[in-house]
């Protein structure tokens, strides 16, 4: 394949990580947030990035004119999902839900051969107010594009069936202009999934970087902390210990694989004054080695966010939580998050990017191997058509 592409709502470009490998060249990109746009420019120096609000007429015109000049015949659009996601407030009138209108406008203006639109599955049940009435986004997309484009039948796919060690459901539209004579679909989902053990099981164990204790206390609690840290950094500069508070670490040290510290009778999450805190049962929770990771969010530095805990290994195995001790009482390292999101170990992270920025970008990005599976399917379909 050899396509010039426009990436709308590009963020840092996680979604298009493997596009170049399949002949889809990002020539033009648009992103609202300056840090995300700067990250994208670092990863894709040959792409023309427009940082700004795509709903602004000036910005939109600049993007579309640049895409026309670059002869973009492929559009990737990943508009923000927070307004529709179950992790958000799901306000009916969230203005972010209307950003799909800019995508449809760009498609109608550029008339590309192929389009990929990615969002959360809730998009299919979300409505926006347009032309004086509430309309289903899904119905409106079809209303606008059915005349000129074929649509894929199965739009909701789970990344774990496409080479990603993470359970993450996404809604992905695969559109092909009718003149291409291509009916673009995802390949059949795999019967076997990649687990956390497959993805990160060979990485060195890390003790958490407890920020509210002295060095003397660290030596007592984690006598091999610096040895482990050095072993991690030898693998990658992105495999280093995440920072946590002592009271959270103690709770996780007594929590086994697949369980939450809320299940403990004694070593549960507490407030600064020692009183038991409140939280959801899926927080302060370790994951399972032999399952794909749970959906990665933007808040992976927090043990108190959903299902972020490393699976760990038993140091002292016991049904008695007073005696039970498990390793890796922490969230995932950045390298572990990269692997669980199907990013390569040599992902070219800019030096200026902070840990929080990197974690947010990984959490908000669609796992790139999922979209690569769709590109491989398109390659095969084009090859069959042209044979």
269-277 mean pLDDT: 91
Over residues 121-139, the pLDDT tens digits come to 999 999 998 988 999 999 9
Bigger pLDDT: 56 vs 272 = 56
In this predicted structure, what is the pLDDT of residue 205? 98
CATH (residue range 3-192+367-386):
3.40.50.150
Over residues 330-345, the pLDDT tens digits come to 999 999 999 999 999 9
Q: Is position 81 annotated as part of the catalytic site?
A: yes
Beta strands in the chain (DSSP E): 3-8, 24-31, 48-51, 74-77, 114-119, 127-130, 133-136, 149-151, 156-158, 169-177, 209-210, 243-244, 314-316, 325-326
- β-pairing verdict for 156-158 and 149-151: unpaired
In this predicted structure, what is the pLDDT of residue 165? 98
Over residues 221-235, the pLDDT tens digits come to 999 999 999 999 999
pLDDT for residue 89 is more than 70:
no
Over residues 154-199, the pLDDT tens digits come to 999 999 999 999 999 999 999 999 999 999 999 999 999 999 999 9
Return residue ranges of the chain for CATH 3.40.50.150: 3-192+367-386
In this predicted structure, what is the pLDDT of residue 131? 85
Label residue 80 by pLDDT band (50, 70, 90): confident
In this predicted structure, what is the pLDDT of residue 81? 62
Percent share of the chain, pLDDT over 90: 93
229-259 in b/e burial notation, b at 16+ Cβ within 10 A? beebeeebebbbbbebbebbbbbbbbbbbeb
Structure-token pair, residue 238: 């992105």
Angle, CA 81 vertex, CA 296 and CA 357 arms, to 5°: 50
For residues 47 and 217, give the distance between their C-alpha atoms in angstroms, rounded to a whole number: 50
pLDDT for residue 92 is more than 70:
no
């Amino acid at each position: 394949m050899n396509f010039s592409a426009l990436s709308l709502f590009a963020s840092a470009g996680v979604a298009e990580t493997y596009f170049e490998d399949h002949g889809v060249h990002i020539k033009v990109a648009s992103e609202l947030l300056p840090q995300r746009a700067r990250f994208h420019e670092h990863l894709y120096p040959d792409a023309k990035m427009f940082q700004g609000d795509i709903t602004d007429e000036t910005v939109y015109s600049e993007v579309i004119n640049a895409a026309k000049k670059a002869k973009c015949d492929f559009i990737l659009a990943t508009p923000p999902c927070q307004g529709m996601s179950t992790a958000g407030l799901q306000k009916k009138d969230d203005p972010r839900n209307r950003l799909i209108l800019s995508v449809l406008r760009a498609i109608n203006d550029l008339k590309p051969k192929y389009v990929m639109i990615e969002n959360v599955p809730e998009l299919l049940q979300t409505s926006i107010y347009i032309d004086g009435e509430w309309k289903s986004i899904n119905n409106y997309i079809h209303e606008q594009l059915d005349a000129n484009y074929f649509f894929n039948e199965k739009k909701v796919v789970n990344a774990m069936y496409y080479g990603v060690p993470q359970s993450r459901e996404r809604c992905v539209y695969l559109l092909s202009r009718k003149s291409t004579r291509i009916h673009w679909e995802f390949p059949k989902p795999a019967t076997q999934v990649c687990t956390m053990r497959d993805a990160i099981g060979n990485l060195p164990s890390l003790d958490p970087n407890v920020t509210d204790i002295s060095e003397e206390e660290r030596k007592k609690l984690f006598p091999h902390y610096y040895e482990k840290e050095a072993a991690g950094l030898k693998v990658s500069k992105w495999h280093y210990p995440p920072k946590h508070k002592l009271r959270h670490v103690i709770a996780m040290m007594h929590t086994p694989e697949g369980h939450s510290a809320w299940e403990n009778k004694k070593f549960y999450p507490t407030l600064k004054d020692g009183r038991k805190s409140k939280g959801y049962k899926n927080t302060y929770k370790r994951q399972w080695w032999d399952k794909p990771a749970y959906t990665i969010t933007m808040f992976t530095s927090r043990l108190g966010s959903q299902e972020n805990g490393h699976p760990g290994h038993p140091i002292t195995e016991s049904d008695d939580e007073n005696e039970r001790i498990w390793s890796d009482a922490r969230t995932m390292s950045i390298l572990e998050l990269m692997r669980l999101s199907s990013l390569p170990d040599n992902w070219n992270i800019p030096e200026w990017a902070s840990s929080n920025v990197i974690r947010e970008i990984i959490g908000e990005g669609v796992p790139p191997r999922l979209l690569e599976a769709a590109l491989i399917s398109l390659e095969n379909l084009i090859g069959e058509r042209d044979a």
